[in-house]
């Protein structure tokens, strides 16, 4: 995969468009006065004698992390095509930088760009554990599995020092509350002690997202996510620890990674995965423009064909938000992908049993902060 001229090392998006809620639009224009011509000697001092592209390479963007004082922690879901009712997102934004991420448009709600801002301006919920204890202790709380990683990855690199996800798991462990996790992050191995304890009572299940086995394609699609080999190792580690684990090929991208479906599933089954699922590429709001820009920079000869196949699955549009079709797509191509996936899973003995049915029988609410006891 050739390096596009707008490439910033370690970042997925190639631009930083304004969010859809901004009232003003700002456009930068180069008037020719910002960068004087450099002499050959100066260029050599910059290292361009060893790399002809070095003089034109854009500087790396630093990651900034800010605390977010959240007022609530559990999000509730009523979508009929998502298999959970409750979720927690420890972080806003994601340093993994996956160009296809459907969570990118959420950055517009805080007046930031779904492009490079989403990857470099991150927020963490510093009071997540405290808020969770308060939520679980409310008299009207009804226990049902909480999903981590439904929006941004709970094990992105900053979790290594912030430990927000682990603090949430510690609360769930004390309360014997069921939890599911979706992640690309290898850091989940750190928390295998908590997850294994929960799994013994059917209180935990993990799904590892694996989109490709090609390291070069991974570096373009998901620049700061762990390698395919590292993710397969996560599957092995969790399975050996007694934690139910599956894989998600999410997303399947037409003419980009769809040819790898069978290989990904074979590798996952060999690593110990019990279940497998897939999601067709979704391009909501600003993601469609960012993905199209990435596609034309990284895979220019395939770009028109890829976008054509996407529109064929989405009723002639880049995105279809309709329940029932948004995760799988419609039409002949979408049906072919679904059939291939089912055949491969059957051959590899994946999905032989239903996905982990987590128990709510062990839940015990934490004591209320005001010390009030239950009447009954």
How many whole angstroms separate alpha carbon 149 and alpha carbon 14?
A: 24
pLDDT number for residue 301: 95
How many whole angstroms separate alpha carbon 170 and alpha carbon 288?
A: 38
Domain ranges of the chain: 61-347
For residue 173, pLDDT over 50 is answered with: yes
Give the pLDDT mean for 103-107. 93
pLDDT digit string, tens, across residues 140-160:
999 999 999 888 999 999 999
Cα 47 from chain centroid (whole Å): 36
Tokens of 203: 């209180």
pLDDT-derived band of residue 46, with 50, 70 and 90 as boundaries? very low
Give the pLDDT mean for 29-50. 52
pLDDT digit string, tens, across residues 279-288:
999 999 899 9
The region that residue 111 occupies, defined by phi over 0 for left and psi between -120 and 50 for alpha, beta otherwise, is left
How many whole angstroms separate alpha carbon 173 and alpha carbon 166?
A: 10
pLDDT number for residue 100: 95
Architecture of the structural domain at 61-347: Alpha-Beta Horseshoe (3.80)
Give the pLDDT mean for 207-231. 96
The torsion angles phi and psi of 84, rounded to 5 degrees, stand at -155, 155
pLDDT digit string, tens, across residues 260-295:
999 999 999 999 999 999 999 999 989 999 999 999
Tokens of 297: 């920079």
pLDDT digit string, tens, across residues 63-100:
999 999 888 999 998 877 777 889 999 999 999 999 99
pLDDT number for residue 48: 39
pTM assigned to the model: 0.86
């Amino acid at each position: 995969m050739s390096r596009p001229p707008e490439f910033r090392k370690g970042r997925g998006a190639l631009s930083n468009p304004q969010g859809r809620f901004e009232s003003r639009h700002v456009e930068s224009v180069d008037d020719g006065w910002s960068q004087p011509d450099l002499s050959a000697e100066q260029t050599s001092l910059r290292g361009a004698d060893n790399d002809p592209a070095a003089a034109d390479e854009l500087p790396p963007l630093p990651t900034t992390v800010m605390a977010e004082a959240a007022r609530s922690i559990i999000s509730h879901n009523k979508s009929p095509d998502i298999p959970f009712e409750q979720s927690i997102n420890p972080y806003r934004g994601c340093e993994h930088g996956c160009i296809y991420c459907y969570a990118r448009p959420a950055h517009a709600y805080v007046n930031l760009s779904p492009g490079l801002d989403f990857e470099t301006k991150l927020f963490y919920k510093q009071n997540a554990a405290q808020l969770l204890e308060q939520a679980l202790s409310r008299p009207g709380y009804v226990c049902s599995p909480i999903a981590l990683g439904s929006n941004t990855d709970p094990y992105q690199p900053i979790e290594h020092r912030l430990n927000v996800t682990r603090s949430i798991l510690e609360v769930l462990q004390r309360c014997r509350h069921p939890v599911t996790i979706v992640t690309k992050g290898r850091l989940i191995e750190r928390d295998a002690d908590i997850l294994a304890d929960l799994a013994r009572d059917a209180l935990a299940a993990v799904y590892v997202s694996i989109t490709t086995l090609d390291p070069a394609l991974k570096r373009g699609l998901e620049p700061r996510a762990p390698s395919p080999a590292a993710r397969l190792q996560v599957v092995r580690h969790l399975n050996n620890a007694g934690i139910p684990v599956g894989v998600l090929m999410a997303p399947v991208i037409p003419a980009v990674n769809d040819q790898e479906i069978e290989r990904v599933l074979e590798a996952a089954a060999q690593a110990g995965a019990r279940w497998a699922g897939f999601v067709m590429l979704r391009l909501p709001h600003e993601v469609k423009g960012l993905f199209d820009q990435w596609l034309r920079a990284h895979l220019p000869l395939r770009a028109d064909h890829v976008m054509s196949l996407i529109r064929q699955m989405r009723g002639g549009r880049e995105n279809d938000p309709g329940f029932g079709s948004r995760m799988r797509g419609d039409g002949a191509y979408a049906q072919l992908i679904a059939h291939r996936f089912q055949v491969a899973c059957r051959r590899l003995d994946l999905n032989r049993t239903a996905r982990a049915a987590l128990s709510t029988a062990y839940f015990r609410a934490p004591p209320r902060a005001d010390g009030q006891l239950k009447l009954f």
